[in-house]
Amino acid sequence: MGMPIHSFANITDQVVDLLREGMLAGRWQGTLPGRDQLANELGVSHTTMEAAMRRLAKENLLVSQGAGKRRRIVLPKGDIKPRHFRVHILTYESMDRYYPLMMALLDQLNKNGLTAKFAAKNLLDLGMDAKRVSRFVQGVQTDAWIVAAGSREVLEWFSNGSVPVFAFFGGWSRLPIAGIGVRKDTGRVIRQLIDLGHRRIVLLARGDHLKSGQMLFQEEFLDALRINDIKTGSYNMPAFGNQPKDLHRCLDSLFRARPPTAIIVSEVHIMLAVRDYLARRGFLAPRDVSLICYDHDLTFKWFDPVVAHFAWDIPPITRRVVRWAKNVARGKDDCRQTFTMSRFVEGGTIGPAPPER
C-alpha cells in the first residue's frame, strides 16, 4: 500500500516496475493479489493492471493458475531480497499498547521472527472514520495489519484491500477476514443478579463500541433482560463518549433519577473510574450497587472486595494471531475466525439488590 504512481512516465511501465520490485523484495509471496485489488490500491485502471500483469507473465515472473485464481509468483533463485515480514498493530487508543494482552502479542510476534510494531496513530486519533483510516494506512509500509477493536465500517474497508488484516476483537462478524473474540456467559450473570433481586441493571460502554457492534455480548445482555421480563431501553445501555467528562455526565444522569442496583462495565479503566465516582458519593459495592467488569486485570486481586469479572487466558489468543501472521507471511490465505472462552470470577462485588431508596 502507499506506492506512488507518477504521471511523468508511461503508467503501465511504472506499474510493472512497482509490482516487480515488490515481488523481488518479498512484499508478496506465493501469489499476487487479484487484478481488481491491486488496481484499486495503486489507483490505476483494471486495463492498465491487466496489461502490467501480462508483461510480468512474459518475463516468467507470474504464472496463471486458472480462471478466478490468483497468479503464482515465480522468482529466479537469488533474486529475493531477504527481510522480515512486517506487521503493524493499529490499536483502539494509545493506552492499549500498555495493556498486558497487547504487550504479550507484540512480544510473541517478534519472538517468532516477524517484525511487529504499533502504528503511530490509533483508531481514536483517526476518529474511527474509515476514510481517515484509509489515508493513514496507505502511508504505512507494511505486509499485514492487526486491528484492535475496529468498527465494522473500518474492518470492512480493510477487508476490501490487498494487505492481509486480522481483526483483534471488534466488529468482524461475517466479514471475509481472520478474527478473534472472547465468549462470555452473559446470561448466567444476569440470571444471578435477577435471583438476587436486581431489576435496574445497566451496561456501561462507550457509544462508538455500541454503534459499531464491537461488543458481541450487547445483544446477549438485552436478550437476558427480556427473557426475565425486564423492559429494556436506553436506560440499560446508556452510551457515552470517549472523554472522562462524558462518563461522568452519564453517571450523573443515571444516579439522579433511577439509580441502578447493578452495573456491568465493559473496560478495566472505565471500571476504575466508576468505582471512584461511587466512592466519592458514599456508594459501596456490593452494599449499594453490584459491580461486574467484562474485562479483566491483574490489579483486581488487590481490591477489597475483589471485583467480579470475566477472565481468559492470554496465550491461546496470541498463539492464534502469531499462527495467522506466519501463514500470511508464507502466502497462505487464512481467514479463520475463532473465539476463546472466558470464565466468570465472582469476586465480592455482587450482592442482593439494596432496598428501594
Domains in the chain, please, with CATH?
A: 11-73 (1.10.10.10), 86-181+314-342 (3.40.50.2300), 183-312 (3.40.50.2300)
Q: What is the pLDDT of residue 78?
A: 62
**pLDDT averaged over consecutive 10-residue blocks of the chain (357 residues)?**
45 84 76 86 85 91 88 76 80 90 92 91 94 93 94 93 92 91 91 95 83 63 90 90 92 92 94 95 95 90 92 95 94 92 94 87
Burial class (CB in 10 A: 0-12, 13-18, 19+), 195: exposed
* pTM passes above 0.95: no
pLDDT in tens, 90-112: 999 998 988 889 999 999 998 88
pLDDT in tens, 212-234: 555 556 788 889 999 989 999 98
CA separation for the pair 245, 240 (Å, rounded): 9
Strand 337-341 to 201-206 pairing = unpaired
Q: What is the pLDDT of residue 216?
A: 58
Q: What is the pLDDT of residue 39?
A: 85
HSE-up (13 A, CA, CB side) for residue 68: 0
Q: What is the pLDDT of residue 298?
A: 84
